[in-house]
Chain A
Amino acid sequence: MTKFKTILATMFVATLLVTSCKKGDPVIPNEEEVITTLIYTLTPNGGGSDIVLSFRDLDGDGGNAPVITGGTLATNTTYSGVLKLMNEQEDPAENTTDEIWEENKDHEFFFQSTISGLSVSYDDQDADGNPVGINTTLTTVDAGSGTLKITLRHQPNKFAEGASEGDITNAGGETDIEVTFDVDVQ
């Protein structure tokens, strides 16, 4: 039985040993894939100051709510639109737009507005000749107020019906970005 007394003693000591440990500090992951910021800059073709729509959520999914800035556009105006995506958790901020452009066949932005007459057309294309949506033209007609929704789909079927004209219905894929801006046209 001495053997078993030894075993019990060992177990007791083992208990003390393990229960007195503390979990070491975890390594904080480098969230390089995160997109914190989307900026849609609209430059009026006839001259004038830029309209900047922006979405910023610096701490990601949790924590503080995102800051969303809408804008006011003029009626019957054509704007050149440029999208910029960033990860501002990094210092300096990382430009994610380039990463999307490198995989342009696998990405497409879609623009949907509730304002009548507001339309967005594509000014860029991938190697297959399908649009990407980083560079666009936005055209307004009548006055009105509503929203502009920008969606980025990863691995959509760009050849699906309507997808290359900016219709999201049949595009599929999964959503990487979906942000909605309040927009007035006056």
Chain B
Amino acid sequence: MFNRIFFILLFIPVLTFSQNCSLTLSGHIEDANTGSPLEYVDVVVESTSIGTVTDSKGIFTISNLCKGEYHIILSYIGYESKKVFVTLDHNVTKKITLEPSENKLNEVIITAKNTIKTTQNVASLNQRSIVDNATENLGNMLTAVVGVSALKTGNGIAKPVIHGLYGNRLTILNNGVTQSGQQWGNDHSPEIDPLVANKIRVIKGTSALEYMGSNLGNVVLVEPKRIYRDPHLHGSAHYSLETNGLSNGLHLQLQKYNPKISWKINGTLKKSGDKRTANYYLTNTGAQEANLAIQLEKKFSEKIFSDFYLSTYNTELGILRGAHIGNLTDLEEAFQRETPFFTSDQFSYSIASPKQKVNHHLLKIHSKYLIDETQQFNITFAGQYDNRNEYDVRRGGRSETPALSLQQFSYFIEAKYKKEFLDDFLLKSGIQLNAIDNANNPQTGILPLIPDYLSYETGIYLVGSKKTEKSYFQLGARYDNVNQNVAAISTTLPREIIRYENTFHKWGTSFGWKYTINDAILLSYNIGLATRNPAINELYSFGLHQGVSGIEEGNINLQTEKSFKTTLGFNTNSDTKFVLDILAYYQKVNDYIFLEPQDEIRLTIRGAFPVFKYKQTNAEIFGADISSKYQINPSFNFKINYSYIRGVDLKNNLFLINLPSNTIHSSIAYKAIKPLKIGKKSLENFTLKLSDQYVFKQNNILPEQDFVAAPDAYNLLNMKIATDLQLSKTRLRFTFKIENILNVSYRDYLNRQRYFADDLGINAVLGIGITF
């Protein structure tokens, strides 16, 4: 490679001497997902007026070009515009794909060229939707996917909930590495900056065989893209401003391809102050965040490719001051208050206790080795450091000493092998190893809620898939061996160290079948069996947990959970006028681990507290995600999504707590088919969307299962305007959104702040992006 460039460089003076301006650049442009050709795509040579459009076969031709290097800009309504680098030393023909700018309801496109990669149900957020929602954290961003909700503590802390599963039961992969932090806490957000990702995928499946972590089926994959093969410096910058909380966000991305070493760098800075409900400020809900990610890539040969990834995520989050309570009496008093105690009538950026400070660093080295055309070998080494400090309002100047301080190191090694056989048979297998070292900082002066531990997990999997003309089959299995070495502190005096050592066997197996009935309809069926070992907090947590306003007790006798899940999917082609996607699921978990309120009320010097203990039951979760779209005409579309979920504790004949309410999201969107001309410039991809979000009251909960009744149903109205503007070398994007236009005051069942305060009031968001 290096030689070739050297060769070109050597001859450039000679080449310019004999300027050849009769070269032709031609290309074939198609949809990245479907492979169908795209007509009327604008093709322009950057910094010139030379240009053309594609024909009905998606083909363009530009003749009479001189030898040299060019950037070609491709733009097309409804698609992400793209800049392609071309070295022209002879006539060149390129095949180029464009990504649709709109999120497809599902990644289902039924064509002859169908490239199904899995039988599981996958929904994804593309780069445009990630950047357009730059002010949101990962959990809130994912709620755009039907069937995904967020379990929140205020607005700043949000955990994704997929088909009712979250925390210990949900696997999140950050750039291929299982995110390792303090997943057990309901008030612990995943420590990931979604802005570094180019794509976020949500797998609503039956068993996550290829990934380490919980294999109950649901996975979130945060995926940064490979570096573009363009030898020039390119990048993007995005600034956003929100009126609610006066938040400012800045994201910068730079990248450069070089045969020696390619690099990409991402940085995010965010600062926000007190958020506001319809009627009052949420005092002490400010947040700040500073993240950086560095990606390096090198292709050693046609067979060996390596990449390096380093990311650091750092945040400080204020918790609503009025949500910090001492005992049950305080909690009951808080329910009675119209506005929370400590509510200030002044806006402020300051963050005081109670607050969280979290740092998460990830280092990953990955190499891919192409053994031959049909075989591939991948190896990954990764290390993570998670440092979580939580501050309470404390006596004697101790508010600046964390009340909870956990440091976790984790190490991950993975070797994967993939082979494509004849007859469209694909085999994937791998071995993974994860070691976690979790320690409490004794500086807190408080007995830790969860003990110090070491955990080792070794896993192995094998997945085979077979494609026939109309069907795609997948069958696989996975086994993990989990070893926990725990050193806890006794709760009785004198304090002493108590040791526990556990070994668990975890397995999973799943079968899936996708069947294309005809060009318009696709069916999928998945069935999976999996087990999950009890997590450290479920086994050993002990102490007063502010999160549950009670004393939480682990249960050392817990057994592994056994899950059976099945999904049935019905999809229509997403390119047709009427699109309907239905995913129905049923999951039965035997020995389902949950926190059960006990009859005992424990007396402490701070008053009486209810006692919660981890118990096991048999549970059932079932529901359906329905999304539909009607393309009224090329400019207008109407979408409606409905998600239904229900969970039952079969032994005690109760509902499961913390399950999302049913929701209906609907929207009507206008899309300008032709660019809007303003003088010589034109506004591309102009869209206007009005959306409505209706959340039902959670009726599937009994009064004795919670401290306070579930909040009423609510309805929010939102709007969004977005457009792109192409300048000679750069491209601008403007977005303007208004959320909760009617400034409705409401509370959400899955937001734990609902005990104390209303949810967010009206918010306007302005975003400006520049790509160069």
A binding-site residues for B, Cβ under 8 Å? 4, 7-8, 11, 14-15, 18-19, 21-33, 35-36, 38, 55, 57-66, 89, 99-100, 102-103, 151, 153-155, 157, 172-179
The smallest beta-carbon distance between A161 and chain B, in angstroms, is 14
B493 touches A15 (CB 8 A): no
Q: Which residues of A contact B453 (CB under 8 A)?
A: 23
A33 touches B452 (CB 8 A): no
Residue of B nearest to A102 (CB): B396
Contact check: which of A29, A55, A103, A178 meets B329 at CB < 8 Å? A178
- Complex Cα–Cα for A24 and B437 (A): 10
A61 touches B330 (CB 8 A): no
The smallest beta-carbon distance between B545 and chain A, in angstroms, is 10
Q: Which residues of B contact A65 (CB under 8 A)?
A: 603
B327 touches A33 (CB 8 A): no
B487 touches A25 (CB 8 A): yes
The smallest beta-carbon distance between A109 and chain B, in angstroms, is 13
Binds A, one of B107-115, B441-449, B576-584: B441-449
- Complex Cα–Cα for A89 and B605 (A): 14
Q: Which residues of B contact A99 (CB under 8 A)?
A: 395-396
A62 touches B493 (CB 8 A): no
A60-B447, A99-B396, A178-B605 known, 13 other contacts, Cβ within 8 Å = A11-B413, A25-B487, A26-B439, A26-B489, A30-B445, A31-B446, A31-B447, A59-B493, A61-B543, A62-B491, A62-B492, A63-B493, A64-B492
- Complex Cα–Cα for A154 and B396 (A): 11
Tell me, yes or no, whether B607 is within 8 Å of chain A by CB: yes
Q: Which residues of B contact A7 (CB under 8 A)?
A: 379, 415
- Complex Cα–Cα for A32 and B606 (A): 16
Tell me, yes or no, whether B341 is within 8 Å of chain A by CB: yes
- Complex Cα–Cα for A153 and B333 (A): 13
Residue of B nearest to A107 (CB): B395
Q: Which residues of A contact B377 (CB under 8 A)?
A: 4
Q: Which residues of B contact A61 (CB under 8 A)?
A: 491, 543-544, 551, 602, 604, 609
Using known A-B contacts A8-B415, A33-B396, A177-B606, determine if residue A28 contacts B341 with beta carbons closer than 8 Å.
no
- Complex Cα–Cα for A142 and B531 (A): 66
- Complex Cα–Cα for A41 and B144 (A): 61
Q: Which residues of B contact A28 (CB under 8 A)?
A: 442, 489, 495, 497
The smallest beta-carbon distance between A175 and chain B, in angstroms, is 3
A103 touches B395 (CB 8 A): yes
B327 touches A178 (CB 8 A): yes
- Complex Cα–Cα for A62 and B540 (A): 13
Using known A-B contacts A31-B445, A36-B605, A64-B492, determine if residue A22 contacts B485 with beta carbons closer than 8 Å.
yes
20 contacts between A and B (CB under 8 A): A4-B377, A4-B415, A7-B379, A8-B415, A21-B485, A23-B454, A24-B487, A26-B442, A26-B489, A33-B445, A33-B446, A35-B605, A57-B603, A60-B604, A61-B604, A64-B492, A155-B393, A175-B607, A178-B326, A178-B607
Measured as residues with beta carbon below 8 angstroms from the partner, the interface class of chain B is: 35 or more
Residue of A nearest to B333 (CB): A172
Using known A-B contacts A33-B395, A62-B543, A174-B326, determine if residue A55 contacts B483 with beta carbons closer than 8 Å.
no
- Complex Cα–Cα for A99 and B330 (A): 23
Q: Which residues of B contact A64 (CB under 8 A)?
A: 492
- Complex Cα–Cα for A60 and B449 (A): 13
A29 touches B415 (CB 8 A): no
Using known A-B contacts A26-B497, A176-B606, determine if residue A14 contacts B489 with beta carbons closer than 8 Å.
no
B604 touches A57 (CB 8 A): yes
- Complex Cα–Cα for A67 and B758 (A): 40
| Interface of chain B: mostly helix, strand, loop or mixed | strand
Q: Which residues of A contact B440 (CB under 8 A)?
A: 26, 29
The smallest beta-carbon distance between B708 and chain A, in angstroms, is 18
- Complex Cα–Cα for A77 and B451 (A): 52
B330 touches A175 (CB 8 A): yes
Q: Which residues of A contact B486 (CB under 8 A)?
A: 23
B491 touches A60 (CB 8 A): yes
B485 touches A33 (CB 8 A): no
Using known A-B contacts A21-B485, A176-B395, determine if residue A29 contacts B443 with beta carbons closer than 8 Å.
yes
Q: Which residues of B contact A173 (CB under 8 A)?
A: 341
Using known A-B contacts A59-B492, A61-B543, determine if residue A154 contacts B326 with beta carbons closer than 8 Å.
yes
A30 touches B442 (CB 8 A): yes
Residue of A nearest to B454 (CB): A23
The smallest beta-carbon distance between A2 and chain B, in angstroms, is 13
- Complex Cα–Cα for A35 and B603 (A): 14
Q: Which residues of B contact A60 (CB under 8 A)?
A: 447, 491, 604
B456 touches A23 (CB 8 A): no
- Complex Cα–Cα for A38 and B607 (A): 13
Tell me, yes or no, whether B163 is within 8 Å of chain A by CB: no
Q: Which residues of B contact A63 (CB under 8 A)?
A: 491-493
Q: Which residues of B contact A24 (CB under 8 A)?
A: 452, 487
- Complex Cα–Cα for A151 and B530 (A): 50
Tell me, yes or no, whether B325 is within 8 Å of chain A by CB: yes
Residue of A nearest to B403 (CB): A33
Tell me, yes or no, whether B433 is within 8 Å of chain A by CB: yes
B398 touches A33 (CB 8 A): yes
B603 touches A66 (CB 8 A): yes
Tell me, yes or no, whether B394 is within 8 Å of chain A by CB: yes
Tell me, yes or no, whether B511 is within 8 Å of chain A by CB: no
A23 touches B452 (CB 8 A): yes
Tell me, yes or no, whether B364 is within 8 Å of chain A by CB: no
Residue of A nearest to B377 (CB): A4
Tell me, yes or no, whether B772 is within 8 Å of chain A by CB: no
- Complex Cα–Cα for A175 and B341 (A): 13
B452 touches A11 (CB 8 A): no
Tell me, yes or no, whether B60 is within 8 Å of chain A by CB: no
The smallest beta-carbon distance between B359 and chain A, in angstroms, is 21
B325 touches A174 (CB 8 A): yes
- Complex Cα–Cα for A22 and B433 (A): 17
Q: Which residues of A contact B447 (CB under 8 A)?
A: 29, 31, 60
| Docked complex: B602-635 residues within 8 A CB-CB of A | 602-609
- Complex Cα–Cα for A106 and B390 (A): 22
Q: Which residues of A contact B451 (CB under 8 A)?
A: 26
- Complex Cα–Cα for A105 and B219 (A): 50
Q: Which 10 A-B pairs have the closest CB atoms?
A: A175-B326, A178-B607, A62-B491, A174-B326, A172-B341, A63-B492, A27-B442, A29-B442, A26-B452, A23-B454
B431 touches A11 (CB 8 A): yes
Residue of B nearest to A89 (CB): B493
- Complex Cα–Cα for A64 and B493 (A): 9
A175 touches B327 (CB 8 A): yes
Contact check: which of B324, B445, B452, B551 meets A174 at CB < 8 Å? B324
- Complex Cα–Cα for A19 and B453 (A): 13
- Complex Cα–Cα for A178 and B602 (A): 13
Contact check: which of A22, A27, A31, A66 meets B604 at CB < 8 Å? A66
